[in-house]
Amino acid sequence: MSLKRYTISVDGTIPVPALLYDDEVLLISQEGVGIYDGPQKAPNHQSGIVHATTHRLFYIDNAHSFSRSFWLDLAHVGRTEYYAGLFTSSAKITLYLNDPPPRPSTSIVAERADSSFDTPAKSSQVDFWECEVCSNRNPIGLTSSAALVCALCGVPRASMKAPITIPSRQNAAGSYSLSKSLPSSSVNLAKLHLSSSPSPSPPVPEVPAPPATGEIACIACTFLNSPLLQECEICGTPLPRKPSLAPPARLPAKSAPASRSATPAPDSDDDDDDNPDKRMMRLSFRKGGDKAFYSVLRRALLGRAWESKAVAAAVEAPSSSSSSSSRPLGRSGINGILRSVETTAATAQSNMEDALADLEALMVKWKDMVKLAQDLNERLTAASTPAPGISLVPGAPLGGATTLATPAVEPEEATFIRSSLAQLGLQMANAPVTQDMVRDERKWFEELAKELAGVLEGSGAKGGEGMMRKRGIVALDEVWGGWNRARGVALIPPATFLQVLPHLPSFTLPPIRMRTFAASGLSVLHTPPYGSATFASRLVSILTLVGPRTTVEVAQEEDLPIGLTEEMVHEVEMAGEICRDDGGSGVSIFSSPGAPWAASEGGEVRWWVNIFRGYVWDGQK
């Protein structure tokens, strides 16, 4: 499937650096990697080393490095996906491949089982072009920059001559006629193949009719190729077509084993299935290293080193390119300079893309802000009577707020609000009241009091309980903190807070007032049941009904904090409504009369109704 179609076999016994093009750089290697061909595991490629270069991805199999290794051109990779792995599932990198590539013309036939095809011959199959100036024979890399500029003198390849073909092909071309000698012996294929390919045999006049099997003899090497092939499996020479034959399917030229010619029927390789889902490969990282590899791979893909970049520009101004970028090994002269220019350009592009991504996010929000401001502007224009500041009260629904609005709004105020809104660029429905929204000091305090009332009592329609809903009495510091927390911005200083409090009762139902305890100076906000007179009468009636009570008992009865109860009871005591009995001394006197400290031992204070009030002497006259 995709593995076959996109990858090219390579002799894994050769060290990877030797396999690289001149302008190719090995970036990272990772061992313990398995390959998935599409969604399934590729059974022959389950353990190997993966090397990522600027141009290609090499897989060198561990067990059968000679026969099962391959490389993949990064140019085919459309996008990648990273999967971090889960439990026993290894981390994976999915490579989605582009449309099926054209058959590589310079395929290296490496998977040959027959050792007669020695490696020098194979490497000599790579095309070269000769520089006009220095006559350096440049290899044709995959990058056109390398293909277009001489590596030695840097002179562009001006006249695009046809590549000088390799000796073996020349050889094959030269001995064209000898392939015709390929006679009837198509049966003894292997033997013939072994004997015929290294040394050409003498020319034989005419090609006989192809054998019944439909195999096509190569005109160069006389190898009997499968009719499905377009080029010779051995030497890559185009095969003579037979019109009667069905158009050959795209078969990978290099991976067909030698025995394939005997059984030429396409073995149900669903090569024609162009389902994009299947056009993918996975690298499964069984031994980790996935993250580092993925980032390097992405960088390599982004770098697109196989594309020619700015060749002409670099040639025109070679001196301008700085030598800042480290020059890879084996590069020199203008070629290296060009390379550094390319790297700089790539870096600049990636930086620019990052910056633009941020800008895009900002633009999305900016649109919202503008929309809000416009909305508010329209409302200001539409509202003839209500004061614009009113509608900004948090928590208050718009309808309810307008009832409190002042009848007339000076246009200049409206303009001011509008302009300040425009300056700010944002305005939310529950924004806290700030001083510049309101006309004068008194109004400002009233708005604040209204806002505070919302915080204390909960804003009716919205639900949610205010700070006072359940308690009826709250310490001032807590209210202040809670209010400012609710506001979030434009916090209210304590002085302003205290000035707001006198306005509070008119905005709350029941009225919430402040009282300060004389003894400690503690200030609280309270609902009417906790006013001093109300509380005193309630306390007295409790004491009258159930007898003396301690502070703790009173606190339990009133459901208040003990400290707060103490303050309130003290206040009542100071009003003379109750009196105290600090107790304690009696018991210890009788239990241990000798203990002098017993008299000073204090018990818990119990509160009595003021029995001294209105007492008439009834003792001895």
Partner 1 sequence: MALTTHTTPSGFVLPSIHAAKPFFTQQPNPATQKTVTENWTRLILSYARHKKLFNLRVEDATDDKSEWDEVLRNPRIQRRLRPSHLAAILSSMVAANQAMYEPPNQTSSVLLFWRSPEEWAQVLYDWANSTGHLNTIMTFYEIVEPPVPSPLEGLPLPILRKAIAVLTKSARAQIIAVADGEGVRFLPGVPGR
Which helix (H) or strand (E) segment holds residue 593: the answer is: none
Q: Does 610 bind partner 1 (CB under 8 A)?
A: yes
| Residue (166 or 543) nearer to partner 1, CB | 543
The nearest distance, CB 498 to partner 1, in angstroms, is 29
Find the binder of partner 1 among 180, 286, 327, 606 (CB under 8 A). 606
Q: What's the CA gap between 60 and 51, in Å, rounded?
A: 8
Could you tell me if 93 and 283 are in contact, meaning their C-beta atoms sit under 8 angstroms apart?
Answer: yes
Site string for partner 1, 556-595 (x = CB under 8 A): -----------------xx-x--xxxxx-xxx-xx--x--
| Residue (115 or 600) nearer to partner 1, CB | 600
Cis-peptide into 264, omega within 30 deg: no
Q: What's the CA gap between 61 and 50, in Å, rounded?
A: 9
Instruction: Please list the residues that pair with 606 across neighbouring strands.
Output: 550, 581
What is the number of alpha carbons within 13 Å of residue 433 lying toward its C-beta? 29
Q: Please tell me the count of residues contacting partner 1 according to CB under 8 A.
A: 31
Q: Does 359 bind partner 1 (CB under 8 A)?
A: no
The nearest distance, CB 524 to partner 1, in angstroms, is 21
Q: Does 518 bind partner 1 (CB under 8 A)?
A: no
- The token duo for 192 is 């013939």
Q: Does 617 bind partner 1 (CB under 8 A)?
A: yes
Identify the three-state secondary structure at position 57.
strand
Could you tell me if 520 and 567 are in contact, meaning their C-beta atoms sit under 8 angstroms apart?
Answer: yes
The nearest distance, CB 613 to partner 1, in angstroms, is 7
Q: Does 532 bind partner 1 (CB under 8 A)?
A: no
Which helix (H) or strand (E) segment holds residue 59: the answer is: strand 56-61
The nearest distance, CB 581 to partner 1, in angstroms, is 4
Tell me the window of 232-240, 431-439, 483-491, 603-611 that interacts with partner 1 (CB under 8 A).
603-611
The nearest distance, CB 437 to partner 1, in angstroms, is 49
Q: What's the CA gap between 95 and 275, in Å, rounded?
A: 15
Tell me the window of 148-156, 376-384, 531-539, 599-607 that interacts with partner 1 (CB under 8 A).
599-607
Q: Does 542 bind partner 1 (CB under 8 A)?
A: no
| Residue (87 or 612) nearer to partner 1, CB | 612
The three-state DSSP-derived secondary structure of 278-328 is HCEEEEEECCCCHHHHHHHHHHHHHHCCCCCCCHHHHHHCCCCCCCCCCCC
Q: What's the CA gap between 68 and 37, in Å, rounded?
A: 14
| Residue (39 or 586) nearer to partner 1, CB | 586
The nearest distance, CB 605 to partner 1, in angstroms, is 8
Q: Does 597 bind partner 1 (CB under 8 A)?
A: no
Q: Does 621 bind partner 1 (CB under 8 A)?
A: yes
Q: What's the CA gap between 121 and 384, in Å, rounded?
A: 93
Interface residues with partner 1 (CB under 8 A)?
Answer: 547-548, 573-574, 576, 579-583, 585-587, 589-590, 593, 596, 599-600, 606, 608, 610-613, 615, 617-621
